[in-house]
């Protein structure tokens, strides 16, 4: 049989747990630090193209609560009022076997960052190739040229991808790959149109193609702010 003391202790314990359960989740601070120049060897590098602008990247640290999480390159794109995407910068060891470490920088894949939780997600955009693809964003869609390894002998493809979708909305072969003496850039910068929603992608020296994007429901997943 429970004593009166034990019966009184149970609701008291429940009341003590309420403030912890109702405590507001921590809001993180996400910022980009100052830019710096780092060595970079672009695909089109040659002895006649060795200026500082052509052989360096401007990278910026991605900070969450003053702690550096990643290096980034290029501008951010706000997807929603709490999420943005930015391209990752990679520091790669370019030394051959037996050589001392030789570090270089390269533009990498894209990241999605939640400003509230501070969570960083690596994006796996379909057929995205860091040396070929220059994604242009509109809302939660990206348009770019990519390399499809599932095509026989490889293929240059026009891609429109939506965040959260497993497959590209558009993936059309527009050329062979690899190409001898491939131009740089391989494709012109993609162009977006709002109404109706369309993306135009054009391989360098080729014909421009316009693709309609049907469906306006965003698949961006933004979780509740949680303590990390």
Per-residue model confidence as pLDDT tens digits over 12-45: 555 555 555 455 667 789 999 999 999 888 766 6
Collect all residues with Cβ–Cβ distance below 8 Å to 137 and sequence separation of at least 6. 77, 79, 85
Whether the pLDDT of residue 5 is over 60: the answer is: no
The pLDDT tens digits for 156-188 are 999 999 998 888 999 999 998 888 888 889 999
Stated as kind and residue range, the H or E segment containing 6 is: helix 4-22
**Pick from 41, 45, 33, 101: which is nearest to 73 by CA?**
33
Direct distance between the N- and C-terminal alpha carbons of the chain, in angstroms, rounded to an integer: 43
Helix (H) or strand (E) holding 68: strand 67-78
Claim to verify: residue 49 and residue 118 sit in the same structural domain: yes
Structure tokens at 98: 């037996």
State how far the Cα of 68 lies from the Cα of 61, in Å rounded to an integer: 6
Look at residue 69 and tell me if it is in a domain. Answer: yes
How far is it, in rounded angstroms, from Cα 198 to Cα 136? Answer: 12
Both 114 and 140 in one domain: the answer is no
> What is the Cα–Cα distance from 153 to 142, expressed in whole angstroms?
25
Task: Flag whether 107 is in a domain.
Answer: yes
Predicted structure pTM score: 0.80
Question: What's the chain's average pLDDT?
Answer: 84
Residue 183 and residue 198 share a domain: yes
Please return the burial class of 199, using the count of CB atoms within 10 Å of its CB with bins 0-12, 13-18 and 19+.
Answer: buried
CA pair distance 210, 201, nearest whole angstrom: 6
Backbone angles phi, psi at 18, to 5 degrees: -60, -50
Q: Which domain holds residue 114?
A: 25-123
What percent helix, strand, coil does the chain show, rounded to 5? 10, 40, 50
In this structure, what token pair is assigned to residue 46? 């040659």
What is residue 190's DSSP assignment? P
| Chosen domain end from 123, 152, 184 | 123
162 within some domain = yes
Q: What percent of the chain has pLDDT over 70?
A: 76
- pLDDT confidence of residue 125: 96
Residue 117 and residue 193 share a domain: no
How many structural domains comprise the chain? 2
Is 12 part of any domain?
A: no
32 within a domain of the structure (yes/no): yes
Residue 5, Ramachandran bin (φ over 0: left; ψ between -120 and 50: alpha; else beta):
alpha
> Across residues 74-79, what is the average pLDDT?
97
141 and 100 co-located in one domain: no
pLDDT of residue 42: 79
């Amino acid at each position: 049989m429970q004593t009166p003391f034990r019966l009184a202790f149970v609701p008291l314990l429940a009341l003590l747990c309420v403030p912890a359960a109702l405590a507001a989740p921590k809001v993180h601070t996400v910022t980009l630090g100052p830019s710096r120049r780092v060595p970079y060897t672009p695909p089109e590098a040659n002895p006649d193209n060795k200026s500082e602008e052509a052989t360096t990247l401007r990278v910026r640290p991605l900070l969450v609560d003053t702690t550096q999480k990643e290096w980034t390159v290029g501008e951010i794109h706000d997807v929603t009022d709490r999420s943005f995407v930015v391209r990752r910068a990679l520091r790669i060891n370019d030394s051959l076997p037996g050589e001392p470490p030789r570090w270089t920088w390269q533009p990498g894949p894209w990241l999605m960052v939640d400003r509230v939780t501070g969570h960083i997600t690596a994006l796996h955009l379909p057929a995205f190739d860091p040396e070929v693809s220059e994604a242009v964003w509109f809302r939660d869609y990206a348009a770019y040229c990519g390399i499809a390894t599932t095509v026989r002998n490889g293929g240059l493809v026009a891609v429109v991808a939506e965040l959260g979708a497993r497959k590209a909305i558009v993936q059309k072969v527009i050329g062979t790959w690899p190409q001898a003496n491939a131009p740089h850039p391989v494709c012109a910068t993609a162009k977006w149109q709002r109404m109706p929603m369309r993306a135009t992608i054009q391989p360098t020296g080729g014909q421009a193609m316009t693709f309609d994007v049907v469906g306006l429901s965003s698949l961006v997943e933004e979780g509740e702010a949680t303590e990390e």
